[in-house]
Structure 1
């Protein structure tokens, strides 16, 4: 418990100033986190990061995380690059004599999209305003806290025991309820330019998808037979273990609150 708490404090000391500062430093930090997360998810499938498929995936990650406000050329570059990378990965299945399979190629492409989109929206959401990124982080944190407390106190009915045996329906609902504290408090200090009732609905949706993101990553680990995605954060696991909810919440937040 002491190791877990110490890791959380150190991580917060490093991450919070970067998050508040935003800009180029956050974009570079997002790329760093994304590379670590990509390495973790590829390792789950026994694909080494320093291999031909791993390096191809890294190139794809760089492309898919390009800032969306850089111009229309970004969309064209991303599409053409991903098409090219798809053919390269498929060609490598032949060159490797199927040691690297069609399913492995699909896994690499899906990993690029899963990790790249999630972390791209980490810095682009911050660029839209500090209130949005704080809103997302507080919703996830309050959801996790509420799910844990309600699950420990009154949790009796398993939510999805095959994927995550410790999660309960009561915890899931408790997470939704606690997440509503965020808009009710933040609306006093900041303006989201939407009615409070709509913000509450959006918060519930974000809270649900945050918990779904956690379940998705738990499903990955269960499928590949690993306890944690990595060991970079002692007591917490890997980068994917810490950002799994955000990778679902941040893109959805942009759809609901920002790109309207």
Structure 2
């Protein structure tokens, strides 16, 4: 418990500063999360009997955020270049090694790591290019915390009392009641945040604000359950130990991996 409190006391102010300030500081943060996240994902995969090409995965994974930042362009097509080149390199390497057995499995798990960790998390840099980008990043993180916290509290209070079958195959402690609680409080939170801090334009109707809250909560929970799905498949409890009792980087940012890209494209569409 003490470790959790200390990590939160130190980590939260740093995270808030990084998200609001953006720029090169955000790039360093994104690179760190991607590097550690890829390490955790590939280590989990190896424990699960897979054999990712770790070195090529690291190169492609770190190329994505740096190309996005130094090109200084709000252009998602930049993400595709390292991924395309990675596919060519992975298949080419297997051909030159004259290997057949488990080739698609090894190529697939390497590629999944890059797309899942780097491709998704690099959208923090794209979000930073948007108007109020830093405020949106902080808002998303707050909403993810709200969703996670209230899903937990509601689930602990009334979980499995109404809906007997939750998400037991993926995460035994997750319940439908908790999921609904997370949705309701996330929608309430984004409504209040917009009322006080005006993160949406003045012309945005309330139903759109609430729709954002609904989608953010749903996607956050999918991200959380998605990472749990991988951990259960690979038969491990936490993705890592870098944050002590908080687990690994992927344990902390599994929801952000999914929510930031979703909100980025929603904002591009509605604006």
Q: Label 1:28 to 1:96 Cα distance change in 2 as closer, same or farther (>3 A).
A: farther
Which residue in the other structure is 1:4 paired with?
Answer: 4
Q: Label 1:52 to 1:210 Cα distance change in 2 as closer, same or farther (>3 A).
A: closer
Which residue in the other structure is 1:59 paired with?
Answer: 59
- Structure 1 unmatched ranges of 5 or more: none
Determine the C-alpha separation between the residues in 2 that align with 1:80 and 1:15: 29
> Are 2:184 and 1:164 equivalent residues in the alignment?
no
Which residue in the other structure is 1:148 paired with?
Answer: 152
* Partner SS, residue 245 of structure 1: helix
- The alpha-carbon deviation at position 80 of structure 1 amounts to 4.3
Q: Deviations over 1:69-108 (max 9, x none)?
A: 7349983x65444333212212333528457732111111
- The alpha-carbon deviation at position 139 of structure 1 amounts to 1.4
Q: Is the Cα contact below 8 Å between 1:158 and 1:165 reproduced in 2?
A: no
Which residue in the other structure is 2:91 paired with?
Answer: 90
Farther off after superposition, 168-177 or 123-132: 123-132
Matches within 5 A, 1:189-228: 189-193=197-201, 194-228=204-238
Q: Is the Cα contact below 8 Å between 1:40 and 1:229 reproduced in 2?
A: yes
Q: Label 1:36 to 1:203 Cα distance change in 2 as closer, same or farther (>3 A).
A: same
Determine the C-alpha separation between the residues in 1 that align with 2:30 and 2:262: 18
Q: Label 1:116 to 1:180 Cα distance change in 2 as closer, same or farther (>3 A).
A: same
Which residue in the other structure is 2:193 paired with?
Answer: 186
Determine the C-alpha separation between the residues in 1 that align with 2:72 and 2:61: 17
Determine the C-alpha separation between the residues in 1 that align with 2:81 and 2:265: 24
> Are 2:244 and 1:242 equivalent residues in the alignment?
no
Farther off after superposition, 233-242 or 127-136: 127-136
- Structure 2 unmatched ranges of 5 or more: none
Given candidates 118, 121, 129, the residue that maps to 2:120 is 118
Q: Label 1:191 to 1:209 Cα distance change in 2 as closer, same or farther (>3 A).
A: closer
Equivalenced residues, count: 256
- The alpha-carbon deviation at position 199 of structure 1 amounts to 1.0
* Cα root mean square deviation, aligned: 2.4
Farther off after superposition, 57-66 or 173-182: 57-66
Q: Label 1:13 to 1:90 Cα distance change in 2 as closer, same or farther (>3 A).
A: same
Q: Deviations over 1:106-133 (max 9, x none)?
A: 1111111111122212233234223311
Q: Is the Cα contact below 8 Å between 1:176 and 1:207 reproduced in 2?
A: yes
